[in-house]
Chain A
Amino acid sequence: GAVVSQHPSWVICKSGTSVKIECRSLDFQATTMFWYRQFPKQSLMLMATSNEGSKATYEQGVEKDKFLINHASLTLSTLTVTSAHPEDSSFYICSARTSGRTFSSTDTQYFGPGTRLTVL
């Protein structure tokens, strides 16, 4: 099946610094990519949706100036956590869909392995 990779798999940073997380679709072109946040023993919460070449759409309550998303190509999306603070520590997961933004029975949404961010 299709593979989505994330880099790094874990990162520790100091409070106030910025961290960039990369998400790549390795063997397919991802028109739409998603970024999720997962707290321990909790569900995945959608942060934003991005389409290649356009601005990301953020979910309610997600600060777009803190979580910068860039979907520069059909195989790469990046999430930058700016001026990170301890409360931003979490597990960030990206996902990519093979077709467009809207669900269809023929496409599949693939998930990356996640990035563990710890802010000291």
Chain B
Amino acid sequence: AQSVTQPDIHITVSEGASLELRCNYSYGATPYLFWYVQSPGQGLQLLLKYFSGDTLVQGIKGFEAEFKRSQSSFNLRKPSVHWSDAAEYFCAVGNDYKLSFGAGTTVTVRA
């Protein structure tokens, strides 16, 4: 069965600084990988997804993620965070029909 680990429960970053959120997965075959963001009162929003091809994936809101098969990782990055990026971020792996989510990383942005 697939699983997802997000090692960082909470990250605090200064506005304008870079951000990297870690995600490691366990899955036997080539995974479908996703990053979602959850803001209070709003549904999870898809930031980006990887199915195949180029291992560097560009998403919305200036986010990107890199799939590294050798490290079983799919880390999310943003070069310069904005205060509006404060939210909960979830990494997920898809298998057939089911999405399995990590526990999430809370991002706090300080002025």
CA distance A112 to B90 in the complex (A): 15
The answer to whether B71 has its CB under 8 Å from any CB of chain A is no
The answer to whether A75 has its CB under 8 Å from any CB of chain B is no
User: Contacts A43-B90, A43-B104 given: A101-B97 contact, CB under 8 Å?
Assistant: yes
Within 8 A of A (CB), among B43-82: 43-46, 49, 51-52
User: Contacts A43-B103, A46-B98 given: A105-B43 contact, CB under 8 Å?
Assistant: no
| Contact partner, A109, options B41, B46, B52, B104, Cβ 8 Å | B46
Residues of B in contact (CB 8 Å), total: 23
User: Contacts A43-B103, A93-B43, A114-B43 given: A103-B90 contact, CB under 8 Å?
Assistant: no
A101 CB contacts on chain B under 8 angstroms = 96-97
| Chain A interface residue number, banded | 20 to 34
The answer to whether B99 has its CB under 8 Å from any CB of chain A is yes
Counting from the closest, the 7 A-B pairs by CB-CB distance are A111-B43, A111-B44, A105-B51, A43-B101, A101-B97, A44-B101, A43-B103
13 pairs from A and B in contact (CB 8 Å cutoff): A41-B104, A44-B99, A46-B98, A46-B99, A46-B100, A93-B43, A101-B96, A103-B96, A105-B51, A108-B46, A109-B46, A109-B99, A113-B41
The chain B residues found within 8 Å of chain A, CB to CB, are 9, 32, 36, 41-46, 49, 51-52, 90, 94, 96-104
